Amino acid sequence: MTDPTRRAEELRQLISRYNYEYHQLDAPSVPDAEYDRLVRELQALEASHPELGSEASPTGLVGGQADSAFSPVRHRRPVLSLQNALDQEELQEFMARMGRAVGTDEVAVDLEPKIDGLSVVLRYRDGRFQQGITRGDGTVGEDVSHTLVEVRDLPHTLKGAPAGELEVRGEVYLAKEAFLRLNEAREAAGEPLFANPRNAAAGALRQLDPAVTKSRGLNLFCYEIRHPEDLVETQTEALAALMAMGFPVPPDSQRLVGWDDLWQAVSLWQERRHQLPFAIDGLVVKLDHLPTARAQGATAKAPRAMIAFKFPPEEVVTTLERVVWQVGRSGTVTPTAYLTPVRLGGTVVSRATLHNAQLAKSRDIRIGDRVVIRKAGEIIPEVVRPLAAERTGQEQPLEAPRQCPACGSALVRNEGETALRCPNEACPGRQLEAFCHFASRAAMDIDGLGPKLLASLLEAGLVKTPADLYRLDERDLLTVPRMAARSAQNLLAAIDRSRRRPLWRLILALGLPQVGAHAAERLASRFESLFALLEASEEDLCAVPDVGPLTARQIRAWAADPVHRQWVSELAGVGVLGEVAEPAHGGEGPLRGERLVFTGSFAVPRQELMAAARAAGALVLSAVSRRVTHLVVGDKPGQKRQEAEALAIPLWDEASFRRKIEGQDS
């Protein structure tokens, strides 16, 4: 047994050091998970040994970022899950049960979409946001206030909220579009894809760095008033009250009476679900009258008076017509299935991923097969399995190519990797993919510069390196087949608009190995320029959160390659350097142009002030540098204050910050 006093002291020192590295140096030396583990160990120790006192402990510091991030929070009452009805019969049984409970067949229920996201509990006091907690194990959740404030439709101040405590439950989710974009970027960076929006939302919320959460574009729906329990009488009123206070609520929720009306409404949802901009995995049916619902009680897992009706996974059968092997920009060669077009989940699907050659082989998928397809996470079509019983004997097994489909080079398979690779750096197929990635929405976002056009530009020799895009003129473009003056001008304007994209987009666009949007953001905020990134040592790179030794080595090798160094200097030559910070949303308001850093504790949670600063047009940064215009200083400021003074950066206290926000002095 180790001595708890000694261990607590050890942990406090370690955590304080990691806090300092993370917040002040922006250079943590341990992964987030390790930090979380230590915080949890200390919290557990402090909870079981009250004599250790925690006033001065890093676990006791409120209003900070990582200090409260992911701390365990006990729920006021269990945050339950839902029982499921898997088919019509089970739903009908539920309605019959409710009928018996209320003594009539004409049971009034509320029907809501079941959002495929992550459950959160939100606490407000006197109408102001206080804290957001994950569901956790239902009894204890994690404090995720620091990232929740970056969820764009989370209301910070409520309209007409009850005095005192208000606790609301909702679902944080990622819209289909945001989910697709995120996976596109991950795929481009060779990172594992998120299987569904729920996992992606959880990943985005469970971040130490709120800026990452923000960039993922999370949304929120709220559907339950947990406290005060008697604020309203019915679920229908609960949704109306939530909406009136400023919460987003699940759209198209309906009050229905009796089985027939309910079933008809459920049936209508089967099609409508696909038209929504977010994924739902079913519907929730809730007894409308809340006191009666509460009287039904709950099992260990779920309340008795509500039920989830899960949509059966939608699968369709079609024919696999052919398989096309394509080379990606990093050289990986992957199969895409071309299918006889078929309707699935609200769209017509004619292509599906086969992931990789080995997976396709292990599922024994053959060309000409009747295959079952479905949408992974409701969104990305994939081939699930062949219907072997329907084979005619004409089907062809998949042959993995030996040569690159674009340049004919012999393919290689690196040790320990499943993917086939084209080793030719100058492969035209890889180059085309690299340019497509550069111009893509996820990266430099150049409108109208798609694969066809890029292929023509490459073929004509008009672009060879990224900087060449910025040297194109109308005369060049008019040599491209089917390009008219008007479209040439539009394209030039779109290219021009991309010149000032933020640095992280440029880093992402250049396609460094293993670098997705997330890592690009980290690298951008650590190095602040492409040149600094090129000069960074493996050690410097390793100090960046989420960059492991292997990635660091690969980035280093990339940066040492004269071709890539040439790209960067040419880009600088045409004025494309990557802006250091993406302007805050719109950037309009009394604090427009301000770059602020916050330190110390304030009368309200720091995140709230930061959010207010952003809303007023300021950019909120995490570390002091010469570019910071003001340091906002609260009680017990940290090291940042000395750093700011050393750079002669002017200070604001909370009161003057508030005056600026209100535009009272300038």
* H-assigned helices in 401-529: 428-439, 451-459, 466-469, 474-478, 485-497, 503-510, 517-527
C-beta of 80 vs 180, nearer to ligand IVH:
80
C-beta of 238 vs 344, nearer to ligand IVH:
238
In the bound complex, what is the minimum distance in angstroms from residue 206's beta carbon to ligand IVH?
A: 15
Binding site for ligand IVH (CB under 6 A): 80-82, 112, 114-115, 119, 171, 223-224, 250, 284, 303, 308
In the bound complex, what is the minimum distance in angstroms from residue 119's beta carbon to ligand IVH?
A: 3
C-beta of 238 vs 533, nearer to ligand IVH:
238
In the bound complex, what is the minimum distance in angstroms from residue 59's beta carbon to ligand IVH?
A: 28
Residue 614 token pair: 């952003």
- Cα separation, 250 vs 259, in Å, equals 22
In the bound complex, what is the minimum distance in angstroms from residue 120's beta carbon to ligand IVH?
A: 9
Catalytic (active site) residue 114: yes
C-beta of 283 vs 344, nearer to ligand IVH:
283
In the bound complex, what is the minimum distance in angstroms from residue 284's beta carbon to ligand IVH?
A: 4
C-beta of 112 vs 184, nearer to ligand IVH:
112
* Residue from 99, 97, 96 nearest 107 by CA: 99
C-beta of 182 vs 293, nearer to ligand IVH:
293
In the bound complex, what is the minimum distance in angstroms from residue 291's beta carbon to ligand IVH?
A: 16
Beta strands across the sheet bearing 83-85 = 83-85, 306-310, 280-287, 108-115, 254-257
Spatial CB neighbours of 143, under 8 Å, sequence gap ≥ 6: 68, 69, 70, 71, 72, 73, 131, 132, 133
In the bound complex, what is the minimum distance in angstroms from residue 281's beta carbon to ligand IVH?
A: 8
Which position among 114, 214, 375, 660 bears the catalytic label? 114
CB-CB contact of 29 with 35 (8 Å)? no
Which strand (E) or helix (H) includes residue 610? Answer: helix 606-615
- Cα separation, 126 vs 82, in Å, equals 30
* H-assigned helices in 127-258: 145-148, 176-188, 197-205, 210-216, 235-245
CB-CB contact of 429 with 443 (8 Å)? no
* Number of neighbours of residue 251 by Cβ within 10 angstroms: 11
C-beta of 60 vs 228, nearer to ligand IVH:
228
Spatial CB neighbours of 118, under 8 Å, sequence gap ≥ 6: 134, 135, 171, 172, 173, 198, 201, 202, 205
User: CA triplet 209, 210, 212: central angle to 5 degrees?
Assistant: 75
Beta strands across the sheet bearing 619-620 = 619-620, 595-599, 630-633, 651-653
Position with the least CB separation from ligand IVH: 119
At 158, give phi and psi (nearest 5°): -95, 155
Catalytic residues: 114
